[in-house]
Every structure is written in structure tokens, then in C-alpha cells.
Amino acid sequence: MSDSLGSVGLVSTERVVVGTDDDPLVLASGARIAPVEIAYETYGALSPARDNAVFVAHALTGDAHAAGWHEGAHRPGWWDNLIGPGKALDTDRLFVVSANLLGGCSGTTGPSSPNPATGQAYGPDFPLLDMADLVTAHRRLLDHLGIDRLHGAVGGSLGGMQVLEWALQEPERIDRAVLVAASSRLTTENIAFSAVARAAILEDPDFHGGRYAEHGVAPRHGLKVARMMAHITYVSGQSLADKFGHRRDTSGAAKQLAADFEVEHYLQHQGESFLDRFDALSYLHLTRPMDYFDPFGAHPDVVPSTRFRLISFDTDWRFPTAHSLRIRDRLLERGVAVDHTEIASPWGHDSFLLEPPGYHELVRSFLH
């Protein structure tokens, strides 16, 4: 559907300092960070009344480039099928803001940023983050843009968790919230998957206690394995079977211990390509807040004025529909307006990035 709709065209990532020595970013732990820079992009035009802004919160390995094209790029932003003229986030009507997360590695301050105390990268000295801290940084971005209230906030996976936290932190700031394939508390299994991914990084000989930059290396093997394993949880068993089956790259050849099946080579490619765009410490710092996330416990008495639209997918086994139902039930207990729909999709957790039938229509109608 969106192929016939418009693109926001060429875009560029902007940066703004939202934390200074005089006004540092204060984290939930009490730690203070300054300077803090945020990378962000905007699409569409802010209305004179400043009442048409929609914030897009990205998932674990996303960035600020959600839509349109960067000069010389071979692919558009990661949510280009959702954002643009005539699309679900219609930039003819809406002013869309997308920003890279605190702790990230795509322009926003994170472990690979210079530590003003040493002049070197923060490395392992970067403070541990809470989900609340990710929201605090983006709240400052909205203040910089002069946006007091959001018409909407939309996020998938970790992005949806941020939106939920934000609505409970500032119960009057977001009119409509769309949470797609999100969770309000990880299962033990979820934490276990992340634990294995982190162990692959932490136990890589090139990790050097997080000071790998000082040694001129990076824990590439560990990060690659972490990405390979995580990617399996983002897709469905059926989608892997349909795409690869039991086909081998060396069909007819002798059995071997090295990668042989097509699905193995696919995962190898996913792991290798990830190394070009992500930092190992950012991966550690952004997965950990998800493990501790419990917004209804942290904000036991908050009743947001926000209206919620929850969307889950029937083949998502990373954050299955039960996670969305938990959010729904907790919100209903507080008298908050909330609707939930489970969408049929063959693609598992990654469905939030794609276009299974009915998904974008739900987002579009809710934001209207």
C-alpha cells in the first residue's frame, strides 16, 4: 500500500545539546550527565498551534532516521512505510519527531561519547540507565522544540515501553499513545535471552572490561553472536521455515561443522552487518533497562489522561499478545481508555516494522 504513497524525501539528522554543566541531565540513579546531545529528525510541519506533534520512539537497535532518505543511502528510514504523506503517520497533517536514544551510538550521548572528565570515551564509566532516563532525555528535546503537549506518541517493542513510561511520568502530556508489540514487564524467558546476548559480549576476549576502544579493538565476535541469537527471537518459526526450509548452500556435499544451511548463512549475515552500525556497550546499556522495567509498580497511583491503542501480533513469541493484555488490564484497572487488537501476521515480533493487513489502518484511524 505505502509504495504508492509519498516519501518525505531527503532528510538529515540534526543534533541539539539538552544537558549542560549548568543544567545536567539527572538520571533516576542520581547520576548526572553533561553535556548531553540528542540526534533527531523531524518530518512534516509543526502547526501554528503546536498541536499536531507525534513522537516516534525507536526499538533497541534503531536510530533517529525513521523516514525519508539520507543523501547517497541505499534504503530509507526504518519506519518509512509508516511515516510520510498519506501514510499512517501522515506528514501532510502531522509533525513527526524521531530521536536516537540516550545510551545509543547514532548521535545521541552514549558510552562511545567523550567523557568530559577524561577526554576519552565513557566506555564502562557510562552510568547505568533506567527506562525513565530515556524519556527524560527526550522530554528535554520536546522542550527545546517548544512542544508542550503531544498529539500522539508511537513506539514498537522497546519504543512502546518508552511511550508507556512517558505517559505515566507525564500523565497530561500525551493525548494518544500507540504501543505496538510492547511489554510492561519482561518474562523470565525474555531476561534469559538478553542474558545470553550480554554474556557473549562481556566474555569476548576483546571486551577488556568495556575499555576496548583504548585497546584499538572491539568485541566483534560477542556482538555478532548476540545479534544472531536476538534476531531469531524477532522472527517467527514459520517465516524462517518458509524462507529457508532445510536447504543447504552446499547441497550434495559432505556434512560439515561450519555453517552449511541457508538459515545459518542468513544469521551470519545479520550478525556481520550489525557490526558496522552498532556499539557493544550501547547494546548492553539499552538491553538492561528492559529487564528492570516495571512502570505500573514505579507509578502505582498515576492515572494518565492519555488514550491508548495497543497492537500485538499472533506470531510474536518475544512479546506475545499476553504482554499487551497485561498492559491493557493494568490501564483498565485505573480507568484509562485503552483498546487492544491482535493482528494476524506471519513475521513474528518484527511485524511492527512491516505491514501486515490491518496494522497501519489501526494506527491511522487512532491518530485521526
Residue 157 annotated to the active site:
yes
Of the residues 98, 113, 157, 312, only one is catalytic, namely 157
Of the residues 285, 349, 351, 360, only one is catalytic, namely 349
Q: Are 218 and 280 in contact (CB under 8 A)?
A: yes
Buried b (16+ CB within 10 A) or exposed e, 44-70: bebeeeeebbbbbbbbbbbbbbbbbbe
Give how far the C-alpha of residue 339 lies from the chain's centroid of Cα atoms, to the nearest Å.
22
Task: Report which of 348, 339, 268 is spatially closest to residue 310, judged by C-alpha positions.
Answer: 339
Cα distance between residue 187 and residue 200, in whole Å: 21
Strand partners, 311: 180, 341
Residue 316 annotated to the active site:
yes
227 is in an annotated binding site: yes
Q: Are 144 and 308 in contact (CB under 8 A)?
A: no
Apex 130 CA angle, 19 and 311, nearest 5: 110
Of the residues 7, 279, 316, 351, only one is catalytic, namely 316
350 is in an annotated binding site: yes
Cα distance between residue 221 and residue 281, in whole Å: 14
Apex 184 CA angle, 141 and 53, nearest 5: 30
Residues marked as catalytic: 157, 316, 349
Tell me the binding residues for substrate. Answer: 227, 350
Tell me the binding residues. Answer: 227, 350
